[in-house]
Amino acid sequence: MAALAGKLLDKKGARLPIIIGIIASLTSLILMNVLAPLSNLAIVLLYVLYYSGYGMCFGSLMTSGLITLGKASHAQGNAIFNTLQQFSGALGTALAGTLIALAQNNHVGNGTAVGSKWTFMILLILIIINLFLALVFVPKKR
C-alpha cells in the first residue's frame, strides 16, 4: 500500500492517503466489532484491510513529517518515527494482553472473546480520535 499511498501523496498531497488509510482501518474495525464472531476468511480479509489502511496512513504521515524537516535532520526524524512506531506496538500488545487476561479471569468460557472485543473497542476509539486529529491538523494543500 505504500506505493499507492506514495502516488497519491505525489499527486494530491499527504491528506488524501492519510484520510483514506484511517478510514480503511476504521471500516475494518467497525466490521470486526459488528459482525463478530467471524469466520477465518473474514478475519483475514478484515485484517488485510486494517493493515492496508495502516500502511497508507503511516507511510504518508512519515513522508509528510520528514518533508518539514531540513535534510540534516532526516535521519533523526526517521529514527523518532520508527522508535514511536515500535513503542506504540509494544504498548498496544501489552494493553491487549492485559485486557484479554482480565476478561479470561472474569468471564468463564468466553473470556478471550470478551477481552478481544474490549481491545477492538479501545482501538476503535483511538482510530476515531486519530481521524479527528488528521482532519484538523493535516493540511489540505501540499
Kindly tell me if the per-residue pLDDT of 23 is higher than 90: yes
**What does the chain come to in residues?**
142
Residues 57 and 23 sit within 8 Å (Cβ to Cβ): no
Mean pLDDT of 111-130: 92
Angle at 139 between CA 133 and CA 141, to 5 degrees: 155
Question: Which region among 16-20, 35-39, 94-98 has the lowest average model confidence (pLDDT)?
Answer: 35-39
Q: What is the pLDDT of residue 100?
A: 95
- Domain enclosing residue 15, as ranges: 1-137
* Residue type, position 24, single letter: A
What's the structural domain count of the chain? 1
Residue 142 domain flag:
no
Residue 50 domain flag:
yes
Residue 70 — φ and ψ, nearest 5°? -70, 160
Residue 40 domain flag:
yes
Residue 6 domain flag:
yes
Q: What is the pLDDT of residue 142?
A: 56
Q: Which of 57, 58, 81, 59 is nearest to 69 (CA)?
A: 81
